[in-house]
Chains A and B, each alone.
Chain A
């Protein structure tokens, strides 16, 4: 737990810029020099993972100043959700972080269930965990594909997207859509697990460890990859905690902290998995955490499959008609059920007054959802704690002594999704 004391510090003291923690200011002595060149990197640049703008001050090839500008993808999710019923609002979180959609859906549904006081059936918990872990692999694959692509490893992109397609096919099999499935409902799952899912998922679980080996054989002994990632973008454990980092960035800096293990939700306390921790706090270690997590997530999926295969016929959603739609077949025979269905869909259900904060370990770190309910059918306030936004705050700290080429590697390693940053 926490920081291993015997490990040598990554660097002495703190590197967080002062007084503004997120802006690296050019040294005034250097400012006198005419050679400082200010460059706008982005907002439209293939290496910015969306629309991120970095104002970079360069002294030759050295980055001497940096400021990140965000907000280009702001779509007002939180405001919009205040105007939708709880029932309809479930569709929005998935679109906030479109790469880890399943985890985003989960956190909002968990917050809703906490307010409603719902106990969900075990089958739903296991299936949610399975899908969230598949989604973690999906997210890490997209990260690895794009981060490696930016450093010149084009072939990685095709290999990673090959497995990504398999995950999206599984997602389509379950929810009907490749992404943004809205498969999680308050109370459980929208539908039973379809026939044919288990064998297909089993094939994927058998395939995936070999695929991770393949990725490693491409880049893990590649001199260019190692040269460009080792010792780059350093972040110490204490700086990472002070800057609120979470997920692979925090674990790459030597802090053993994973909400799946430290604050278990769903049924993570019933599965066996390891939390990878690396101690050098550089781009390479963040890459190592991602690779190990793909292997561990595959193990969790395999264990969930074993359990779910024995749960055939069990309920997948609670039988609480206050919030759960009546079963489809009743709509054809019962007038009351039809009216009830209509009421829930059009008017929504009331959620007890109160405020809750729920956090889950998304592929990018602590994804939190703070929800205030006034007792009505619409949320009063919804706030997402976006791990991507927090990760971007660390750019200035990681960028000390960096070259302009390292900037690409560092921003890539922080694994940000701009949709989530700007919301």
Chain B
């Protein structure tokens, strides 16, 4: 099956038997409407975001492998996540949509690559289920969804600082509070 008619399509990839469509972020919602109405992808199975900060430059260098005693060295110079990303937009974050067509039982993955602070269009008008998924991606990864009706933190507290799932957010960075302390 080809998806050449999808608006803003940058690249199509096939790996592990799964099809990935990379779309231009400004035309994301248009592409999603097309996929829902023309291709039958009526079900948004999952929406997630991934941070590629520190993604290894070459196959010899694996970020998870070259750690220090404290864990991964994600701030090492030269590990700024620019290797092997799709050609037109080598950026830090990737927002990933897993779509499913019921009853045709076809799955595809749609990706939009964005930089820190760059907004991505909300798909709540396309699939209402995206509401909490987008809030979660905003909360934990700091992705801003343009046009989301209620973009607030969902998992963390409302006044939380930082985005815990980002690669530069430390693990164990939160001080432990004991009940007896003032």
Q: List 18 A-B contacts (CB under 8 A).
A: A20-B131, A23-B150, A70-B154, A71-B154, A71-B156, A79-B165, A83-B72, A114-B16, A243-B128, A354-B16, A356-B18, A357-B98, A366-B45, A370-B96, A381-B51, A385-B45, A390-B132, A422-B155
| Contact between chains at B155 and A243 (CB < 8 Å) | no
A-side contacts of B109, CB under 8 Å = 355, 357
Find out whether the CB atom of A83 lies under 8 angstroms from the CB atom of B71: yes
| Size class of the B contact interface (CB-based, 8 Å) | 35 or more
B102 within 8 A of A: yes
Segment at the A interface, from B27-35, B55-63, B113-121? B55-63
**Is A340 at the interface (CB under 8 A from chain B)?**
no
- Report the minimal beta-carbon distance from B141 to chain A, rounded to whole angstroms: 10
The reply to whether the CB of A169 lies closer than 8 angstroms to some CB of chain B is no
Are the C-beta atoms of B56 and A374 separated by less than 8 Å?
A: yes
Identify the stretch in A125-133, A255-263, A307-315, A407-415 within 8 Å (CB) of chain B at 4 or more residues.
A255-263
Out of A16, A366, A372, name the residue touching B50 (CB < 8 Å). Answer: A372
Minimum Cβ distance to chain B for residue A240 (Å) = 10
In the complex with contacts A22-B132, A70-B155, A71-B155, A244-B105 CB distance below 8 A = no
Binary A-proximity of B93-111 (CB < 8 A = 1, otherwise 0): 0001010001101010100
Are A244 and B45 interface neighbours, CB within 8 A? yes
A19 within 8 A of B: yes
A79 and B164 contact, CB distance less than 8 A: yes
Q: How far is the CA of A385 from the CA of B130 in the complex (A)?
A: 12
Q: Which residue of A lies closest to B169 (CB)?
A: A79
| Complex Cα–Cα for A22 and B98 (A) | 20
| Cβ-neighbour of B164 out of A76, A115, A241 (below 8 A) | A76
A242-B169 Cα distance, complex, nearest whole Å: 34
Give Cα A381–Cα B95 distance, bound, in whole angstroms.
Answer: 12
Q: Tell me if A231 is interfacial: C-beta within 8 Å of chain B.
A: no
Task: Knowing A244-B129, A393-B129 are in contact, say whether A377-B105 is a contact too (CB < 8 A).
Answer: no
Residues of A within 8 A of B156 (CB): 71, 74
* A-B pairs, 5 with minimum CB distance: A244-B129, A376-B64, A21-B128, A376-B62, A385-B46
A290 in contact (CB, < 8 A): no
Question: A115 to B16, alpha carbons, bound, how many Å?
Answer: 7
Q: In the complex the two chains form, is B56's CB within 8 Å of A22's CB? A: no
Task: List the B residue with the shortest CB-CB distance to A22.
Answer: B131
Most buried by A among B62, B153, B171: B62
Chain A hits for B103, CB < 8 A: 1-2, 256-257, 262
Cβ distance A16 to chain B, nearest Cβ, rounded Å: 5
Known: A70-B154, A79-B164. A374 touches B102 (CB 8 A): no
Residue of A whose beta carbon sits closest to that of B20: A355
Task: Assess the B131–A376 pair: CB atoms within 8 A.
Answer: no
Partner-A contacts on B (CB < 8 A): 15-16, 18, 20, 42-46, 48, 50-51, 55-56, 59, 62-65, 71-72, 96, 98, 102-103, 105, 107, 109, 124, 127-129, 131-132, 136, 140, 149-150, 153-157, 164-165, 169, 171
CA distance A359 to B45 in the complex (A): 9
- Other A-B contacts than A383-B46, A383-B50, 11 sampled, CB-CB below 8 A, are A71-B154, A241-B43, A242-B128, A243-B129, A257-B103, A355-B15, A359-B45, A368-B45, A370-B48, A377-B64, A380-B55
| Closest chain A residue, CB of each to CB of B157 | A71
A80/B131 contact (C-beta < 8 A), A354-B15, A368-B45 known: no
Query: Which residues of B sit under 8 angstroms from A383, Cβ to Cβ?
Result: 46, 48, 50
Chain A positions 356 through 382: 1 when the CB is less than 8 Å from some CB of chain B, otherwise 0:
110100000010101010111110110
B96: chain A residues within 8 A (beta carbon) = 370
Q: Does A389 contact B (CB under 8 A)?
A: yes
A60-88: which residues lie under 8 A (CB-CB) from chain B?
70-71, 74, 76, 78-80, 83
Q: Chain A nearest CB: distance from B151 CB in Å?
A: 10
Question: Would you give the shortest CB distance from A391 to chain B, in whole angstroms?
Answer: 10
Q: How far is the CA of A242 from the CA of B124 in the complex (A)?
A: 10
Q: Which residues of A contact B165 (CB under 8 A)?
A: 78-79
Q: A368 contacts B98, CB within 8 Å? A: yes
Task: Chain A residues near B155: list those with CB within 8 A.
Answer: 70-71, 74, 422-423
Neighbouring B residues of A241 by C-beta, 8 Å: 42-43, 102
A70 CA / B155 CA spacing, docked (Å):
6
Q: What's the Cα separation between A117 and B156 when bound, in Å?
A: 36
A380 contact set on B, CB distance < 8 A: 50, 55, 63-64
Q: Is the pair B46, A357 in contact by a Cβ cutoff of 8 Å? A: yes
Instruction: Select which of B16, B51, B127, B150 is within 8 A of A242 by beta carbon.
Output: B127
Residues of A within 8 A of B127 (CB): 242, 244
Complex CA distance for A21 and B148, rounded to whole angstroms: 11
> B residues within 8 A CB of A16?
128
Minimum CB–CB distance from A386 to chain B (whole Å) comes to 9
